[in-house]
């Protein structure tokens, strides 16, 4: 039978659902209940449809290659309904009506949660690709069959046509199960959203979706997002992971953030995670946990760079390049003696501009401001305000370097709505 289709046609899911399905003799064998699609890049490919007329435990499935015409009716190349088998979704396939319509998705371009009101397809060369998600009011009206009336009303009263609100599938992340979230996108689009925006999105989801989204992220993105998330939600997300998976994520967090999170977890859960962490990181976190949260010792991070005064700027820069990716603070480097007593501070700018053979003792600023381990949050805040620095080192009673407080760490404690 000859194919009677335009080379390229845009169709909406609402235009396809409910269509009568006819066989080669013109007999109606059912109507379209849903479409199946394989999640491929860049646009999912429709693989078939399910029939909504026969009462069975599993709906009947019609492969899309059997569709001949898609106009008033959906014309197939099958001789009878007996040729059709039951639906059996393959890995990477989903039901578009059941899994997407009226469900929440993430618009990764606008970093917002949107509700799917309709789906738009592009038909080319007998193939149907999902290209847009309709999130607008027009999509809702189209589904109830009143779009023509709405257009006439708007045109007559306002000389205006209500526009479609379409999001390209390239910017859509469905919120399904963790397995399907990992499977359906070659590079999970959520990883491309700024962690602060992603944290806002996660906080707006229900518990099931929140867990699915978080567990679909790569380890580094999960750690960055967790640092931006409300502490109560942090605890919930980590509690849903086994100790090994949780430790992988927490190891990527800043030490101060990791300590704060572990301090909020049940003791048994925290100990299980610490046992799975690398020993040196776990030891640093355990030390931070011994200090009250609102004191300098509880806010500091032990992940910073320090050098001896006889080191040259060139040697320090080489070390900086090797270690900077694994430390929380990179804007300052500190100069300490053999007993870790704090001697001075050097900004990264000054280090870069210094002659490579110049010793750090010659370029460091000896007027370094520091805090004691038991200094309270009000004292810490006063120091940041008075000296206009982005980090302040913490020393013990013998002026030995113990850590450094980054301004964000202070905000996380005294103004969490700003720090997160």
In a domain, 301, yes or no: no
How far is 196 from 99, CA to CA, in rounded Å?
27
53, pLDDT greater than 80: no
Check whether residue 413 and residue 320 sit in a common domain. Answer: yes
Residue 298 domain-assigned (yes or no):
no
Q: Residue 219's domain spans which residues?
A: 191-290
What is the 3-state secondary structure of 200-262? HHHHHCCHHHHHHHHHHCCHHHHHHHHHCCCHHHHHHHHHCCCHHHHHHHHCCCCHHHHHHHH
Please state the pTM of the whole predicted model: 0.65
Q: Can you tell me the distance from the alpha carbon of 82 to that of 27, in angstroms, rounded to the nearest whole number?
A: 13
Alpha-carbon Rg of the chain, whole angstroms? 30
Mean pLDDT along residues 218-227: 91
Closest C-alpha to 103, from 153, 155, 159, 175: 175
State whether 319 and 401 are in the same domain.
yes
The Cα angle at residue 55 between residues 53 and 60, in degrees rounded to 5: 65
pLDDT at 345: 95
Whether 32 maps to a domain, the answer reads yes
Residue 115 three-state SS: strand
Same structural domain, 215 and 161: no
CATH number at residue 29: 2.30.30.240
Among candidate residues 62, 97, 132, the one where a domain is terminated: 97
For residues 326 and 414, membership in a common domain is answered with yes
Residue 357 burial (CB < 10 Å; 0-12/13-18/19+)?
A: exposed
403 inside domain: yes
| Banded model confidence at residue 330, pLDDT cuts 50, 70, 90 | confident
The proportion of the chain whose per-residue pLDDT surpasses 90, expressed as a percent, equals: 44
DSSP annotation string for 119-138 = EEEEEETTEEEEEEEE-SHH
Question: Stretch 64-92: mean pLDDT, rounded?
Answer: 88
Residue 185 lies in a domain: no
CB–CB of 78/84 below 8 Å? yes
Q: How many residues does the chain have?
A: 420
Q: How confident is the model at residue 176 (pLDDT cuts 50, 70, 90)?
A: low
Name which of 3-17, 74-88, 351-365 the model is least confident about.
Answer: 3-17
Least confident of 81-90, 188-197, 283-292, 372-381: 188-197
Domain boundary among 67, 97, 127: 97
Average pLDDT over residues 56-70: 86
Beta bridge partners of 238: none
- 378 and 342 both lie in a single domain: yes
Regarding whether 275 and 208 lie in a shared domain, the answer is yes
Pairing of strands 118-124, 342-347: unpaired
Give the CATH number for residue 346: 3.10.580.10
DSSP code at position 150: H
pLDDT of residue 55: 56
Contact indicator for 116, 173 with CB cutoff of 8 Å: no
- Is the model more confident about 353 or about 5? 353
Does residue 297 fall inside a structural domain? no
* Residue 118 resides in a domain: yes
Supply the pLDDT for residue 188: 61
Residue 415 lies in a domain: yes
pLDDT value, residue 112: 85
Dist CA 331 CA 328 (whole Å): 10
Q: In this structure, are 59 and 158 located in the same domain?
A: no
Q: What is the structure's pLDDT at 8?
A: 56
Same domain, 314 and 365: yes
Last residue of one domain, picked from the residues 56, 78, 97 = 97
Residues 115 and 90 in one domain: no
> Has residue 128 got a pLDDT over 60?
yes
Shared domain check, 278 and 201:
yes
CATH of the domain at 256: 1.25.60.10
| 399: CB partners within 8 A, 6+ apart | 341, 342, 370
Q: How confident is the model at residue 189 (pLDDT cuts 50, 70, 90)?
A: confident
| Nearest alpha carbon to residue 147 among 156, 158, 139 | 139
Question: What would the mean pLDDT of 132-141 be, rounded to a whole number?
Answer: 87
Contact yes or no for 238/250 (Cβ under 8 A): yes
| Closest by CA position to 130, among listed 194, 203, 44 | 44
Contacts of 60 (CB under 8 A, 6+ apart): 30, 50, 51, 54, 81, 84, 85, 86, 87
Determine the pLDDT at residue 410. 83
Domains in the chain, number = 4
pLDDT at 333: 93
Residues 319 and 410 in one domain: yes
Do 66 and 32 fall into the same domain? yes
Q: Can you give the pLDDT at residue 69?
A: 87
**pLDDT at residue 5 in the model:** 47
């Amino acid at each position: 039978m000859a194919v009677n289709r335009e080379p390229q046609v845009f169709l909406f899911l609402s235009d396809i659902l409910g269509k009568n399905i006819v066989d080669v003799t013109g007999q109606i064998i059912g109507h379209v209940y849903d479409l199946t699609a394989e999640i491929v890049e860049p646009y999912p490919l429709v693989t078939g449809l399910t029939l909504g007329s026969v009462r069975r435990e599993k709906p009947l499935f019609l492969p899309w290659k059997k569709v001949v015409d898609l106009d008033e009716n959906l014309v197939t190349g099958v001789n009878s309904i007996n040729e059709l088998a039951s639906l059996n979704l393959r890995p990477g396939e989903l039901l578009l009506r059941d899994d997407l319509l009226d469900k929440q998705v993430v618009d990764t371009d606008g970093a917002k949660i949107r509700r799917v009101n309709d789906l738009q397809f592009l038909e080319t060369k007998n193939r149907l690709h999902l290209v847009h998600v309709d999130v607008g009011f027009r999509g809702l009206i189209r589904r109830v069959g009143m779009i023509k009336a709405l257009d006439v009303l708007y045109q007559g009263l306002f000389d205006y046509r209500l526009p479609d609100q379409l999001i390209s599938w390239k910017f859509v992340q469905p919120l399904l199960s963790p397995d399907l979230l990992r499977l359906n996108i070659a590079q999970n689009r959520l990883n491309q959203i700024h962690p602060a925006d992603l944290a806002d999105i996660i906080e707006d989801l229900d518990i099931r979706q929140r867990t699915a989204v978080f567990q679909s992220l790569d380890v580094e993105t999960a750690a960055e997002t967790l640092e931006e998330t409300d502490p109560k939600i942090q605890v919930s997300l980590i509690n849903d992971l086994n100790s090994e998976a949780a430790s992988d994520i927490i190891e990527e967090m800043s030490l101060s953030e990791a300590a704060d999170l572990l301090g909020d977890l049940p003791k048994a859960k925290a100990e299980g995670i610490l046992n799975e962490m690398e020993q040196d990181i776990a030891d640093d976190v355990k030390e931070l946990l011994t200090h009250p949260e609102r004191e300098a010792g509880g806010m500091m991070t032990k992940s910073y760079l320090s050098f001896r005064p006889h080191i040259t700027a060139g040697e320090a820069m080489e070390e900086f390049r090797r270690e900077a990716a694994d430390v929380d603070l990179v804007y300052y480097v500190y100069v300490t003696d053999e007993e870790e007593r704090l001697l001075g501070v050097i900004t990264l700018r000054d280090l870069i501009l210094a002659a490579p053979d110049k010793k750090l003792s010659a370029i460091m600023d000896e007027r370094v401001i520091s805090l004691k381990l038991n200094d309270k949050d009000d004292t810490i805040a006063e120091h940041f305000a008075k000296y206009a620095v982005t980090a302040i080192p913490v020393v013990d009673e013998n002026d030995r370097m113990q850590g450094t407080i980054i301004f964000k760490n202070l905000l996380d404690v005294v103004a969490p709505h700003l720090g997160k």
